[in-house]
Amino acid sequence: MGEFVSHEWKVIIAITLIVLFVLSTLLLFVTILIIKFSRAGRTIRNTRFKNRVENKLNELISEYESHTPEDILKIVNLFKPVTKEGWQKTIFGDLLIHYTINLTGDIQQFLKEIFFGLALDQTCFQDLKRGNVREKVRAMRYLSTMGYKPACPLINKYVNDRRKLLRVEASLALIDLSENQLQFLDKLEYPLTQWQQINIYKKLSEKPPESLPAFQRWFDSKNPSIQAFAIEMTSRFNQTSEMEKLLPLLENDSKKIKIKAIQSLIAFDSSDLVPILRDKLAICTEPDVKIELLAAIGSLSSDVSDTDLLETYLMSEDLSVRIQAARSILKMEDGSTRLARKNALYPLMLQPVIDHISNPLLR
């Protein structure tokens, strides 16, 4: 130990750290082994339990004719003893949700009554208030599938949660539960992410179109992502009565909004709007927007004189603009002849573009 004297402070630090690392390693080793072994046991236990309750549920569903409150009480009493633990509630809840989504009519109602009879809604409430992210998400899914409207005020609190996952889940649940499906958009403080938009669109697609709100309501939203979403939904759900209201959006500062508005106008297939699009094209400086306007004129116009206008863009410096102009000309009456004539004058510039757009393999 005498040799250590000159290294005293280093020795103290080193020995402390070694002891720390060795103990940590041992602890980690034991933890790893416990996880490995307990996981196998847990998987077997969960599978067995799932099979058991699944068989019982299948039996009840296949023998189902009608149900009375007494029947429900009997079934609830049957399942109560096996859904005491948290993990049992989760497995059983997942099964009930799965069947509720996939079945309709009286059987669906029957399953919902089992859910409420077992007070799983109360568990969901507890999870929503005090659970972790995973539990909160599950609770919102359960409650929205079961159509439990009293949960709305509580779920509403998560519309502006700092955690994105909870925001998405809350918005999806409210579409199912709230009277005004998309009212949450009015108070959304965060951007409506593209992921959220995809999920909301999926949810809305499952609803009858007549039950959907008029999306123009959000055209002047202060949140640009909501504006873009509303424009997209207007055309996706073919709300043609909103078409006129899209026009002011062509003046919007955001390139994205302008593009979405033009794309929606194309989807509505309205030739009355061509003069406006023509004017916009004349003053447009953004290549991306120009491309959309060219596409719109090509799709909507039946006026041969528009071909002259489109031809001027065949000489654009931007390759994408040239390609779109050529594509749009091809859609016009006599377009292919006009394009061939122009190509004869400027073959170096136009021939590759024509080859590109006319090759079916490149479409």
Partner 1 sequence: MILYWFNFIAEVLIFIYALAIMGSYLVLAIMSLDEMKNHLERSEGTDYRAILASPLAPKVSLIAPAYNESLTIIDNIKSLLSIHYSKFEVIIVNDGSKDDTIDKVIKYFELEEVKPVYEKALHHKPIRGIYKSKNRAYKKLTVVDKENGGKADALNAGINICSNDLIACIDVDCIIEADAILKMVKPFLDENKHEVIASGGVVRIANSCVVEDGRLVKAKIPDNMIARFQVLEYIRAFLLGRMAWSRINGLLLISGAFGMFKKEIVIKCGGYNHKTVGEDMELVVRMRKWMTQNKRKYRVSYIPDPLCWTEAPSTTQVLGRQRNRWARGTYETLKFHKELFFNPKYGVMGMVSYPFWFFFEWMAPFIEAIGLIYFVFLVITGMLNWSFFLLMLALVYSFAICNSFVAILSEELSYFKYARRNDLYKMILTALIEPFVYHPRVVYWSLKGNFDLWKGKTSWGEMSRSGFVQFKKSKKN
Write out the residues near partner 1 by the rule CB under 8 A: 1, 3-4, 6-7, 10-11, 13-15, 17-18, 21-22, 24-25, 28-29, 31-32, 35-36, 39, 132-134, 137-138, 164-165, 169, 190-191, 193-195, 197-199, 201-202, 232, 236, 319-320, 323, 352-353, 355-356, 359, 361-362
Q: How far is the CB of 216 from partner 1 (least distance, A)?
A: 19
- By beta-carbon proximity to partner 1, the closer residue of 206 and 253 is 206
Min. distance of Cβ 250 from partner 1 in angstroms?
22
Q: How near is the Cβ of 133 to partner 1 at its closest, in Å? A: 5
For partner 1, the closer of residues 38 and 312 by Cβ is 38
Tokens read off for 212:
């959907």
Q: Are 67 and 110 spatial neighbours (Cβ–Cβ below 8 Å)?
A: yes
Instruction: Report the residue number, 77 or 194, with the smaller CB distance to partner 1.
Output: 194
The residue among 10 and 80 lying less far from partner 1, judged by its C-beta, is 10
d(CA 193, CA 317): 34
> What is the smallest separation between the CB atom of 359 and partner 1, expressed in angstroms?
6
Q: Which alpha helices (H) appear in the chain, and where do they start and end?
A: 8-62, 69-79, 86-102, 105-117, 120-130, 133-145, 152-156, 164-177, 184-187, 194-205, 224-236, 243-246, 255-268, 274-283, 287-300, 305-312, 319-331, 335-345, 347-358
* Identity of the residue, 7 or 74, whose beta carbon is nearer to partner 1 in the bound complex: 7
Measured from the CB of residue 311, what is the shortest distance to partner 1 in angstroms? 18
Q: Answer yes or no: are the C-beta atoms of 291 and 321 closer than 8 Å.
A: yes
Query: Between 38 and 77, whose beta carbon lies closer to partner 1?
Result: 38
Q: State how far the Cα of 353 lies from the Cα of 361, in Å rounded to an integer.
A: 14
- Contact between 263 and 235 under an 8 Å Cβ cutoff? The reply is yes
Least separation in angstroms between residue 25's CB and partner 1 is 5
Tokens at residue 194, please? Answer: 């593209």
In the bound state with partner 1, the residue whose beta carbon lies nearer, of 164 and 207, is: 164
Contact 97, 114 (CB under 8 A): no
> Least distance from C-beta 355 to partner 1, angstroms?
5
**d(Cα 53, Cα 140) in Å, to the nearest integer?**
23
Torsion 64-67-69-71 (CA) sign: negative
Phi and psi at residue 249, to the nearest 5°: -70, -15
